[in-house]
Structure 1
Amino acid sequence: MKSRARDLQIQFGQLQPGPLNAITDVPGVRVGHSNVRGRTANGRDINTGVTVIEPRAGSTTQQPCFAGVHILNGNGDATGLEWIREAGLLTSPIAFTNTHSVGVVRDALVALDRQDRPDDGRLYWNMPVVLETFDGLLNDINGFHVRAEHVAEALDRAVGGPVAEGAVGGGSGMICHEYKGGIGTASRRLSAAQGGWTVGAIVQANHGTRRELRVDGYPVGRYMEKATSPFLRADLPHPGMGSIVVCLATDAPLLPHQCTRLAQRASIGIARTGGGNEDCSGDIFVAFSTGNQQLEATAYERKGAFTCDGLRMVNNDHIGDLFLAASEAVEEAIINALLAATTTEGNGHTARGLDAATLLKALRQAGWPGAERGDLN
């Protein structure tokens, strides 16, 4: 198992992570992956998949979460975002996949949710949230290899606890800062004085150029670019092409407009790692809160009311710590994605995995004080 950033004594910001340093530190949140790998009859490589984030156990349609979205750069696509903007509610799991599989994943989520719900005679609809990034260099993206059974598999595998990172699920064929990228996660837990809440992030990182890569504020990419080893180069025709999608979760009681404000802070985490400057990147973020829960509906309320036992919200005067937590968690999640991913070849391209020794050497060259503490030994 490859090292995560904190295994290398690299720390980000001032807040402490939760026990797993993952989005699953938010109680009830579960993550599942389905990997789709292989080779076609005509010799095309398949490196793709699906990652599913469940906001809390049970049907999200029955127990929606307040949610918000933010678009940093719109060179990408997603389903279900307009309903979140309109209603302020997340009513489905969130799925990550590749660009050309958004439709099949969306349709599969509708069918699976309907399958789990009894036919009570009511009109029913669902608008699942599916986010994408482009894996067409390492994956036969036009072969449409993600199918409904892979979505079902990812949902079946969704659990709390540690989250697999790197070249897994939707991140299987992704490239980040010209290294192999993919899925990464991290969390922050506020102190009791700050509210005691947790913010978790999960990213599908497929963006950025090597020269701009920063870790803990240090411009490591400048030193990696000068390296001559073939193990540090990815033979990619369009450095920086791709996207990053982010899901933020918190148990803090946020209202929809506050979730939108939280989603905006993913931009800061991406900027801290040197991303967010490419025109050809779709940077789309979703944030949800599990801090308010719908009660069992009465006959009247089943007609459409959303009823909570004492609706709560964080006072805006105290929301800054949550913003800081979100930006730090996204920053660390991106670096965890890079460190977890392994070298992947596909269709004439190679994306090299970023190994710990390479990163630590670049940090030392960039003046990271961890070298003086002996963290590089």
Structure 2
Amino acid sequence: MTTSAEPRRARDLGVPLDGEPGRWNAITDVPGVTVGYTTLVADDPAVTRTGVTAILPRGADLAGAPCAAGVAVLNGNGELTGRSWIEEAGQLQTPIAITNSHAVGAVHQGVDQWLAQHQPAVAAQWMLPVVGETWDGYLNSINAGSVRPEHAHAALDAAASGAIAEGDVGGGTGMNCYGFKGGTGTASRLVPAGERTWTVGVLLQANFGSRRELRVVGRPLGRDSEAPCPMETSGWFEGEVAAAGGTARGPAVPGAGSVIVVVATDAPLLPDQCRALARRVPLGLARTGTTGSHFSGDIFLAFSTANSGGLGSRMGTPAGTVESIEHVSWGAIDGLYTAVVEATEEAVLNALVAARDMVGRDGHASFALPHDEVRDAFASAS
């Protein structure tokens, strides 16, 4: 068992991780990026273990200002709304929200409403909010409609810079990862670039992987853990199907689940370069052990906050308008790739370390990664 007095991040347990993090070791190290949460935990009228995570790429005052952006997919059993426009125009023009699989519509509506209130000039043209999801139905009464538009409003209103909470918060509240309690994780890396230093930040909602897969800097801590793993071993899913009048085909598939990863940077990038950063996310996930289940939705979004005022695509732009934007030379981009991989790996581990044991609907339990097992694995390295 873990307690609130214990460390909350992987580095606190002696895990030796590569790279130099920013001040907060979070996506909010990227200047202008803010994050807010609405966390919903209740037992009446429905067992609620869910929430909303909101990311504003340029903060509330510049919500709607475009950022160069790109999307990549490892496995497509998931949803990220607004993706078609990002792929078409190479830019992101709204806040980003992450929630549970059956709350995408409510959160989408909530982001629309919030933009209409806070950025009416933007909302008067069109809005295609970006809302990602992972499935929390093991712990959360996912069909109860607990997430409502006002919960998206609250997460957006709460968005701030600085250190941010991890684990059982926001959209990550009811999630599981590698057969342990999962949730929200974040990390960042500083990237020297001549006389400048760029920042790469990652925030993810971790709900993927089987217990046997988890590796922490090469150690097979999932396979060797003594923590219970009822989600994979109890046959609960078989019973759920039968109780609903269906034909049970066996227990839940180990590894089923999803992960949404958001990558932010202040390095000036082209849309194709943002896509290239997003394509590096799976390398960081793989360092933690996953092989990418067929029943997992693994979708990644990367954006750049540089070139403020560029990338204009709103209606009313005069014909013949020409824009110029800076971008990192393709030959000098490898440091950013490395930063994405390192920060993604650490964000997963931070989500696992920050999470706490949780009991949800119908008595379903999810147990956190034991801190002592992590400490013991790396005691000789400290």
Same fold (TM over 0.5): yes
Q: Which SS does the other structure have where 2:213 is aligned?
A: coil
8 Å CA contact retained: 2:67, 2:304: yes
State the Cα distance separating 1:192 from its structure 2 match: 4.4
Q: Alpha carbons of 1:312 and 1:371: their partners in 2 closer, same or farther (altered >3 Å)?
A: same
CA distance in 2, matches of 1:300, 1:166: 41
User: Does structure 1 residue 343 correspond to structure 2 residue 343?
Assistant: no
Give the % identical residues.
Answer: 46
8 Å CA contact retained: 1:31, 1:157: yes
Partner of 2:238: none
Partner of 2:223: 222
State the Cα distance separating 1:61 from its structure 2 match: 5.4
Q: Residue deviations 1:165-197, cap 9 Å, x none?
A: 001000000000000000000000012438510
Partner of 2:241: none
Q: Which SS does the other structure have where 1:265 is aligned?
A: helix
What code does the residue aligned with 2:210 have? T
What code does the residue aligned with 2:229 have? R
Q: Which SS does the other structure have where 2:216 is aligned?
A: coil
What code does the residue aligned with 1:84 have? I
CA distance in 2, matches of 1:167, 1:326: 23
What code does the residue aligned with 1:31 have? V
Q: Residue deviations 1:66-106, cap 9 Å, x none?
A: 00000100011121000000001100011010000001111
8 Å CA contact retained: 2:13, 2:374: no
Superposed, which structure 2 residues align to 1:10-49 within 5 Å? Answer: 10-13=15-18, 15-41=19-45, 44-49=46-51
What code does the residue aligned with 2:148 have? R
Partner of 2:339: 325
Partner of 2:374: 359
CA distance in 1, matches of 2:319, 2:52: 32
Partner of 2:245: none
Q: Which runs of 5+ in 1 are unaligned?
A: 364-369
User: Does structure 1 residue 202 correspond to structure 2 residue 217?
Assistant: no
Match of 2:230 among 227, 231, 234: 234
Match of 1:280 among 289, 292, 295: 295
8 Å CA contact retained: 2:221, 2:373: no
Partner of 1:160: 161
CA distance in 2, matches of 1:294, 1:274: 40
Q: Alpha carbons of 1:153 and 1:251: their partners in 2 closer, same or farther (altered >3 Å)?
A: same
Partner of 2:213: 212
State the Cα distance separating 1:311 from its structure 2 match: 1.2
- Root-mean-square deviation (CA, aligned residues, Å) is 2.3
What code does the residue aligned with 2:292 have? N
State the Cα distance separating 1:212 from its structure 2 match: 0.8
Q: Alpha carbons of 1:200 and 1:194: their partners in 2 closer, same or farther (altered >3 Å)?
A: farther
Partner of 1:8: 13
Superposed, which structure 2 residues align to 1:166-185 within 5 Å? Answer: 166-185=167-186
CA distance in 2, matches of 1:267, 1:21: 20
CA distance in 2, matches of 1:53, 1:306: 30
Partner of 1:67: 69
What code does the residue aligned with 1:34 have? T
Q: Which SS does the other structure have where 1:163 is aligned?
A: coil
Q: Alpha carbons of 1:304 and 1:11: their partners in 2 closer, same or farther (altered >3 Å)?
A: farther
Partner of 1:255: 270
Q: Residue deviations 1:243-289, cap 9 Å, x none?
A: 00100000000010100000011110111101142111000000000
What code does the residue aligned with 1:290 have? T
CA distance in 2, matches of 1:256, 1:145: 36
Q: Alpha carbons of 1:295 and 1:143: their partners in 2 closer, same or farther (altered >3 Å)?
A: same
Q: Which SS does the other structure have where 2:197 is aligned?
A: coil
TM-score by length of 2: 0.88
Q: Which runs of 5+ in 2 are unaligned?
A: 236-251
